[in-house]
Chains A and B, each alone.
Chain A
């Protein structure tokens, strides 16, 4: 038992008491009258979580740029009106491309009281983040991650803005069949080269199942790790099996290495056709390796070039010396979708934002979707990919027709 001391004890100066009282008063003000404080200069915290270091850092960094630009734009335009002009405050995180790190980052962000989470590019990372966020009731707007497991787990906090690989590969196959038919069904055999995490393996599995239905024969499916240091052996295999179509599904670094090795060893297929190819829809790749990139086709996310917002964003991104890759407009749209939900919810409470997202019917996006509307799984019903081809020094849309900016070049001319 300790003897109870007089609360002010001995040797407590007047100054200290005054200081103490002042801080108690300040605390009361913070806790007791939050609305008074929030009325002016209040912010809504939004988690922006991407792999900005590690093997897929390039994509993650690009994604963050898109989110940052949207936040800046929204804040400049007066913030969230229904919340008295509240500004969006990003809480940035880095998954390092690792699911376990991604999940820890979500816990940290939850402690920092984010209202919603945007991210996290890679499928494996996003599976972890959405699950971790579900614990805290944080609504997640999924930017790119294509694995269909993400929306198939009955989590009510998941809202995927973008198309999943079911949709992407279905569109990719249909378009491929069309393209092939337009040249008299030249191509019959296919080799798939994919990275071995959730994204590449899942896609390869799907394509393996579906390609035979369309009359293609998959002669080989080659998995590789990320990072891979050398593709010479893979490409030698391509030389000996001579597939008509080569379908790569990998992240940027490996894609570039693979494309360069194919050119080096003079692989001449009828087409290099990517589904969600890491580099085939990337201006950096086109600019730095025009020869290796030439005529590569991709079925991927791409913004609608006819929209003013797309051109404005592209100019803004390129003015900062960055490349305009699809991660930028997608995250730009995701943040604006979140702002729309906040606006309608008129509340910065996680549950209210979640409800507002469930009932979203937003048409402000620059991606080529008819609208953003989520089904019961949390998948945007209108999300779709487009087909692009690298022609000259630009990336042109070749499918669907209403968005097309160029005619498809097929079969691939000799790239010498």
Chain B
């Protein structure tokens, strides 16, 4: 059981998988941190983005990595529109309404996907899907390595944007003190929509990075969204470094849990860690607001 190759593989695979979780969670944590929206539509929007990547590849032959800018911009626009045109209007500023609206959006998107794609599982077959790199006896799939690097990069960029740019400063101001931000001339509605858009754009990126090795079906979001919520709470609501750390931690937990307790029982590790963190550090590992 304690074969060093297995431990090494558990470590590598846990980190690689964790980066994907982090990427999905980054958007969620931004949306929560600024808008205080528990975005139930996150999973179905990820699914939508994955179908987007699938369609771009199968209809227009666009490589998933080349599709990244298209998807990021497309998902940003969609997110901006959703927040400005639907969520904020339908919710009348009440949190419980927002919750229901995002839940409603997710139901609509999932059923639309079922209508257009049926329950079918779709995959894309890119030529480099099976390229791998051997590192000390463990094969690392190149697409997963790319996803890992990209997740780190995107987390870094987001953090920079929030810390250094004007938009980032405005986002932080709105998150801290909405009325104050409005008083100094920040267009709060615009900033809300931008935050939601950026959060959803992260899903566009995640979809591009996932599709070369993963598959898409109408309820694929469920496989990620519960994990993403766990990552967000674990890392601290609204914290980017927290989401990254939380994602990697959950990835490792799942990987080692699977290794030691068996693949089906190992998932329990994720929620054990989750409960322990909530008990002793309720604000999450790096719990500070954006």
| Chain A residues within 8 Å of B, Cβ to Cβ | 51-55, 57-58, 60-61, 196, 222-225, 227-230, 232-234, 236-237, 239-240, 252-253, 256-257, 260-261, 263-266, 284, 288-289, 291-292
- How close is B211's CB to chain A, nearest CB, in angstroms? 13
A64: shortest Cβ distance to chain B, in Å? Answer: 9
Q: Is the CB of A291 within 8 A of B9?
A: no
Contact of B264 among A60, A224, A292 (CB under 8 A): A224
Q: Binary interface profile of B, 112-126, with partner A (CB < 8 Å = 1, else 0)?
A: 001000111101010
Min CB–CB distance A325 → chain B (angstroms): 11
For the complex formed, measure the closest distance between the CB of A321 and the CB atoms of chain B, giving whole angstroms: 11
- The chain A residue sitting closest to B119, CB to CB, is A57
In the complex, how many angstroms separate the beta carbon of B265 from the nearest chain A beta carbon? 8
Per a CB cutoff under 8 Å, which of B9, B12, B119 touches A60?
B119
Q: Given A223-B264, A253-B121, A233 and B258 touching (CB < 8 A)?
A: yes
With the chains together, A194 CA to B121 CA distance in Å? Answer: 19
A266-B139 contact in complex given A232-B16, A236-B6, A253-B217, C-beta closer than 8 Å: yes
B129 within 8 A of partner (CB) = yes
B73 within 8 A of A: no
Across-interface contacts of B139 in A (CB, < 8 A): 236, 239, 264-266
Chain B positions 200-219 with a Cβ under 8 Å from a chain A Cβ: 213-215, 217-219
Bound complex: CA of A53 vs CA of B44, how far in Å?
A: 14
User: Please, what's the 1-or-0 string for B244-286, where 1 marks a CB less than 8 Å from any CB in chain A?
Assistant: 0000000000110011001111010000000000000000000
For residue B163, give the distance in angstroms from its CB to the closest CB of chain A.
Answer: 32
Min C-beta distance of A119 to chain B, whole Å = 14
Contact partner of B263 among A58, A224, A265, A288, CB < 8 A? Answer: A224
Contact among A53, A230, A263, A264 for B114, CB-based, below 8 A: A53
Task: Give chain A nearest CB distance to B42 CB in angstroms.
Answer: 16
* Distance of B54 from chain A, by nearest CB (Å): 11
* Assembly CA distance A233 to B18 (angstroms): 14
Which 7 A-B pairs give the minimum distances between C-beta atoms? A57-B119, A224-B263, A236-B9, A196-B264, A232-B13, A265-B139, A61-B119
CB distance from B34 to the nearest CB of A (A): 28
A-B contact pairs, 23 of them (CB 8 A): A54-B219, A55-B219, A58-B121, A61-B118, A222-B262, A223-B262, A227-B222, A229-B223, A229-B224, A230-B254, A230-B255, A232-B9, A232-B144, A233-B9, A233-B258, A234-B258, A236-B6, A253-B217, A256-B215, A263-B130, A264-B130, A266-B139, A289-B125
Whether A260 and B120, one on each chain, are in contact in the complex, defined by CB atoms closer than 8 angstroms, is no
B127-178 CB contacts (< 8 Å) to partner A: 129-130, 132, 137-139, 141, 144
Question: What residues on B are CB-neighbors of A233 within 8 Å?
Answer: 6, 9-10, 13, 255, 258-259, 263
B90 at the interface (CB under 8 A from A): no
A320 CB → nearest B CB, Å: 12
* A57 vs B117: C-alpha distance when bound (angstroms): 11
Contacts of B132 in A (CB 8 A): 264-266
Residue of B nearest to A195 (CB): B264
Provide the bound-state CA to CA distance between A239 and B219, in Å: 32
**Chain B contact residues, CB within 8 Å of chain A:** 3, 5-6, 9-10, 12-13, 16-17, 114, 118-121, 123, 125, 129-130, 132, 137-139, 141, 144, 213-215, 217-219, 222-224, 254-255, 258-259, 262-265, 267
A253 and B213 CA atoms in complex are apart in Å by 12
Contact indicator A230/B17 (Cβ below 8 Å) = yes
Interface centre among B6, B120, B218, B264 (most CB of A within 10 A): B264
**Given the complex, which residues of A lie within 8 Å of B219, measured CB to CB?**
53-55, 57
The residue from B12, B121, B129, B258 contacting A252, defined by CB atoms under 8 A apart: B121
- Residues of A contacting B223 with CB < 8 Å? 227, 229
- Chain B residues near A61: list those with CB within 8 A: 118-120
Separation in Å of the B268 CB from the closest CB of chain A? 10
Assembled-state Cα–Cα distance A331/B12 (Å):
44
B17 contact set on A, CB distance < 8 A: 229-230, 232
Q: How far is the CB of A93 from chain B (nearest CB, A)?
A: 14
* Apart from A53-B219, A232-B17, A240-B3: 12 A-B pairs, beta carbons within 8 A: A52-B118, A57-B118, A57-B121, A61-B119, A222-B262, A224-B264, A230-B255, A233-B6, A239-B5, A253-B215, A256-B121, A264-B141
Contacts of B254 in A (CB 8 A): 230
Instruction: Indicate if the CB atoms of A234 and B125 lie closer than 8 Å.
Output: no
Closest to A201 in B: B264
Whether B215 and A257, one on each chain, are in contact in the complex, defined by CB atoms closer than 8 angstroms, is: yes
Known contacts A225-B267, A240-B5, A266-B139, A53 near B119 by CB under 8 Å: yes
Q: Which residue of B lies closest to A279 (CB)?
A: B121
Residue on B nearest A289 in the bound complex, by CB: B125
Across the two chains, which residue of chain B brings its CB closest to A61?
B119
A225 to B223, CA, bound (A): 11
Smallest CB separation, A334 vs chain B (Å) = 19
Chain A residue contacts of B13, Cβ below 8 A: 230, 232-233, 236
Q: Tell me the smallest distance from the CB of A337 to a CB of chain B, in Å.
A: 25
Distance from A214 Cβ to chain B, minimum over Cβ atoms (Å): 26
CB contacts (< 8 Å) of A291 on chain B: these are: 130
Q: Which residues of B contact A225 (CB under 8 A)?
A: 263-264, 267
Distance in angstroms between the alpha carbons of A51 and B17 in the assembled complex: 28
**B contact residues around A288 at 8 Å (CB):** 123, 125
Compute how far the CA of A263 lies from the CA of B129 in the bound complex, rounded to whole angstroms: 10
In the complex, what distance in Å separates the CA atom of A51 from the CA atom of B255?
Answer: 29
Q: Note all chain B residues with C-beta closer than 8 A to A240.
A: 3, 5-6
If the complex has contacts A53-B218, A54-B219, A289-B125, are A223 and B263 also in contact, measured as CB distance less than 8 A? Answer: yes
